[in-house]
């Protein structure tokens, strides 16, 4: 698993994977698992099989992310960590204070949490089966910390966009997306969704972070660059992550 930041010095963002290293005998292990399950039932989303929580440090806050092995959307991917670091370290370039921000494919909510902590009015979206864990993480990490309470909404790429997110009543200053491109059958719908929110005259800025893994990533990147006025903001060679800024072609 890639770490999005190193060290624990002041001002640095850290990304830590926590895991248990000790071993238990079969009987002890079963009792241990049962007791942990019973303790979790009172507060954790019931539909998720728990992994160890992931801990981060951004914008002067400890952030604890609950993950799952049930779905891609319940894991925190390297592009999300990279985008959070970029937002934190480039606040003069990307001014989120009091801006309307939409995240698509929000997953565990890390990017939306950081945007909220930076003062944005955030709407985090993903598929319906991800929303329970997403909401849990957002509220857990922004309550009493954020200027605006983040909102959560279901969004299936390419479907019912005009009905559920009519323009211009649903206008956003920024659309954020991190690691939303991987081998799936929804890339056309993803591009359609990006066009819906980042359309001519909207003055919406799209920030997309992606770790390149497959040839499909490269093909989609070329389509993305031909569809928008796209600029490569930064590249992280060790993680093979690139962050693009894009606006609509007039």
Gap between the Cα atoms of 164 and 7, Å rounded:
43
Q: What backbone phi and psi angles, to 5 degrees, belong to 68?
A: -155, 160
Per-residue pLDDT, 214:
84
Gap between the Cα atoms of 115 and 113, Å rounded:
5
Q: Tally the residues of the chain.
A: 250
Per-residue pLDDT, 195:
96
Per-residue pLDDT, 174:
98
Q: Kindly list the domain boundaries of the chain, sorted by start residue.
A: 72-248
Low-confidence stretches of the chain (pLDDT beneath 70): 1-52, 68-74, 183
Per-residue pLDDT, 32:
36
Cβ 138 vs Cβ 131: under 8 Å: no
Q: Under CATH, what is the fold of the domain 72-248?
A: Rossmann fold (3.40.50)
Per-residue pLDDT, 19:
33
Per-residue pLDDT, 182:
74
Per-residue pLDDT, 30:
44
Nearest to 85 by CA among 145, 15, 17, 138: 15
């Amino acid at each position: 698993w890639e770490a999005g930041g190193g060290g624990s010095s002041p001002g640095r963002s850290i990304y830590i994977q926590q895991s248990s290293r000790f071993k238990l005998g079969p009987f002890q292990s079963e009792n241990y698992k049962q007791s942990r399950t019973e303790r979790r039932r009172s507060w954790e989303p019931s539909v998720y099989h728990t992994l160890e929580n992931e801990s981060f440090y951004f914008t002067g806050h400890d952030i604890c992310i609950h993950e799952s092995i049930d779905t891609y959307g319940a894991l925190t991917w390297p592009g999300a960590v990279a985008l959070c670091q970029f937002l934190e370290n480039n606040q003069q370039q990307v001014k989120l204070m009091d801006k309307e921000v939409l995240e698509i494919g929000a997953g565990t909510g890390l990017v939306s949490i950081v945007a909220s902590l930076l003062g944005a009015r955030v709407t985090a979206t993903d598929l319906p089966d991800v929303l329970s864990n997403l909401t849990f993480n957002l509220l857990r990490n922004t309550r009493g910390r954020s200027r605006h309470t983040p909102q959560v909404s279901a969004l299936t790429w390419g479907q019912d966009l005009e009905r559920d997110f009519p323009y211009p009543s649903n206008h956003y200053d920024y659309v954020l997306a991190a690691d939303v491109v991987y081998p799936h059958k929804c890339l056309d719908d993803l591009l359609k969704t990006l066009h819906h929110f980042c359309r001519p005259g909207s003055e919406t800025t799209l920030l997309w972070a992606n770790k390149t893994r497959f040839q499909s990533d490269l093909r989609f990147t070329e389509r993305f660059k031909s569809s928008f006025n796209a600029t490569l903001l930064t590249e992280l060679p060790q993680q093979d992550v690139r962050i693009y800024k894009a606006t609509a072609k007039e």
